[in-house]
Structure 1
Amino acid sequence: MQSIVVKEEIEIPSGVEVKIDGKKITVNGKKGQIERDFSFAKEIEISLDANKVILMSTFLNRKEKALIYSVKRHILNMIEGVTKGYRYSLKIISTHFPMSVKVVGDEVQITNLIGEKDIRRVKIYPGVKVTVKGEDITVEGIDLEKVSHVAANIETQSKIRGFDKRVFSDGIFLYKKEVLS
């Protein structure tokens, strides 16, 4: 069943500035600036009214209605990112061979994973900070998508295939996601 009118409002907190240029939204805050293009959401009309972002559309089916709520959540994540920021924590587990993880330039290098001589590399996106201290890796930034993508790529690159998981539990595993204050 179609919804006649769907209108969602997002309150803009003080200290945050939002600019809308067509379907491109720019959010500025004390931590930085995030820009995102929502041109894929053709059915949604995005506008700015005083201190609110208004998402509105008419005659939506189920998928289009879900899209309006997805866009709303993306904008809320952008506002939360520029005011607080995000941190993902990962743990290095090596039971057989001493694995080495280091940040070199704009990439994370994983060496000696189960005795492999190859270096596994993960690209770090601009605006994301990765630190390695002992067995802990922290991934921080203001853009939730970039932070989560880098953390997921680190976890995926350290995945071992073709070994018994009960014996070889080596790898890098995500154990905590948090919003900074």
Structure 2
Amino acid sequence: MSRVGKNPVPVPQGVDVKVDGAKITVKGPKGVLTRELPSQIQVTVEGDQIVCRRADESRQARSLHGLVRALVSNMVVGVSQGFTKVLEIHGVGYRAEVNKNVLNLTLGYSHPINYELPEGIQATVDKQNVIRLEGTDREVLGQTAANIRALRPVEPYKGKGVRYADEQVRRKAGKAGKK
């Protein structure tokens, strides 16, 4: 039995869950999320909990059990509390600003980069070098943060680039001079 999959997902106050066959819709104060679920897993709402059960003991059903439970849990947390990712920009002249749903980045290239944020993701910039991304869908938020980081990944010699706030950068020593 999946250790993750057997745990029920608690549904907090103010969150409404509807299961329609293989489709689950979670509605909360932060928004609405919908997802198609695989047919090998049955999701039911029992009181104030969501329970995921396998239809059979096939290899694919066993592998999807914990995944579906985690996805449903992320949906419930997303519409009730939301998710946040924080990115930091390090480098002389590197900065960011937000105009509506476009993130304008200056990352040392010969041109500014205008990154259009996907629907459901909001960005705020503190002190021109800290980007805070917020959203209800954890997958879209993580992919957006990864795409922004990929515009200028951190280089190991001076530490310049875009990094996650909790990321540890391994620095390398530069060339040793001739004696």
Say whether the fold is shared (TM-score over 0.5). Answer: yes
- Look up the equivalent residue of 1:64 and give its one-letter code: A
- Look up the equivalent residue of 1:171 and give its one-letter code: G
Q: Whose strand fraction is larger, Structure 1's or Structure 2's?
A: 1
Aligned to 1:69: 66
Aligned to 1:17: 16
Q: Distance in 1 between matches of 2:58 and 2:76?
A: 28
Match of 1:170 among 160, 163, 172: 160
Q: Distance in 2 between matches of 1:34 and 1:139?
A: 18
Q: In the TM superposition, what are the counterparts of 1:46-125 in structure 2 within 5 Å?
A: 46-95=43-92, 98-111=93-106, 113-114=107-108, 116-125=109-118
- Look up the equivalent residue of 2:28 and give its one-letter code: G
Q: 1:62 to 1:123 in 2, by over 3 A?
A: farther
- Look up the equivalent residue of 2:160 and give its one-letter code: D
Q: Distance in 2 between matches of 1:37 and 1:157?
A: 31
SS at 1:91's partner residue?
Answer: strand
Q: Distance in 2 between matches of 1:93 and 1:128?
A: 23
Q: 1:61 to 1:101 in 2, by over 3 A?
A: same
SS at 2:145's partner residue?
Answer: helix
Count of aligned residue pairs for this structure pair: 164
SS at 2:157's partner residue?
Answer: coil
Q: 2:54–2:61: 8 Å Cα contact kept in structure 1?
A: no
Runs of 4 or more consecutive aligned structure 1 residues displaced over 6 Å after TM superposition: none
- Look up the equivalent residue of 2:105 and give its one-letter code: I
Q: Per-residue CA shift, 1:21-53, capped at 9, x if unaligned?
A: 221111111222111222xx2311223334332
Structure 1, unaligned runs of 5 or more = none
The sequence identity of aligned pairs, in percent, is 27
Structure 2, unaligned runs of 5 or more = 168-179
Higher relative contact order (CA 8 A, sep 6+): 1
Root mean square deviation of aligned Cα? 2.6
TM-score, length basis structure 2:
0.78
Q: 1:58 to 1:32 in 2, by over 3 A?
A: closer
